[in-house]
Amino acid sequence: SSRLGIRQGEVIVYNKTNRETSVDIKQSVRGKHVFILQSGSKNVNNDVMELLILIYACKTSMSKTITVIMPYLPYSKQCRMLRRSSIPMKLIAEMICRAGASRLVSLDLYKKEIQGFFSIPVDNLRASPFLLQYIKEYIPDYKNAIIVAKSPGVMNKATSYADRLRLGVAVIHGEQKDSEESGLEDGRQSPPPN
């Protein structure tokens, strides 16, 4: 906020005695363009509830627009139907929209299709230009490195970084525990087990 010359709003987030999340916005947001930056923590579910309550508080306080900035979008890897499950990312998108958000900004969404889950505009920004610039400026010996993909499923992204940095690329092959990357999205196997 200091780079933009805008004062950061004061919000107090606290838990009541029954552990419910509550927010207290300390100044008027009536008729204002509000930007909520949700950086996240290890407690994803609390972060989501905190965000929803804060968006709703701004909406009911008559904010003109509410832009939510989430560098990481929780539940984004759960954007497909797995076996007899659900699509939690679709639910999160609907809750953010229902709470009153006008726009969402995120970085490197897990799948581009996630933008379609929202009924509001979603900006999917790329982190790669900034990461590449950072590597070139702050890691003096980076040309003696290689880019390693954690699994074959992310090889394209690793190759993209390696090509732009003119580095070699490697991939880790092994057991995949994440069904999103293993290709078992719908729980079926071919051929079916006996």
Q: What is the average per-residue pLDDT within 45-61?
A: 95
Note whether 11-125 and 129-182 share their fold. yes
- Residue 111, pLDDT > 90, answer no
On whether the CB atoms of residues 86 and 80 are closer than 8 A, the answer is no
46: left (phi over 0), alpha (psi -120 to 50) or beta: alpha
Q: What is the average per-residue pLDDT within 171-185?
A: 62
Using DSSP, state whether 178 is helix, strand or coil.
coil
79, burial (CB in 10 Å: exposed 0-12, middle 13-18, buried 19+):
buried
Q: What is the pLDDT of residues 61-90, one digit of tens each?
A: 999 999 999 999 987 887 777 777 788 889
Domain ranges of the chain: 11-125, 129-182
Q: How far apart are CA 106 and CA 87, in angstroms?
A: 19
pLDDT at 29: 93
CATH architecture of 129-182: 3-Layer(aba) Sandwich (3.40)
CATH architecture of 11-125: 3-Layer(aba) Sandwich (3.40)
pLDDT at 178: 55
Q: What is the average per-residue pLDDT within 39-64?
A: 93
Q: What is the average per-residue pLDDT within 29-44?
A: 91
Q: What is the average per-residue pLDDT within 112-139?
A: 91
pLDDT at 4: 79
Using DSSP, state whether 90 is helix, strand or coil.
helix
Please report, for residues 147, 154, 169, the alpha-carbon distance to residue 160 in angstroms, rounded to integers and kept in the order given: 10, 10, 10
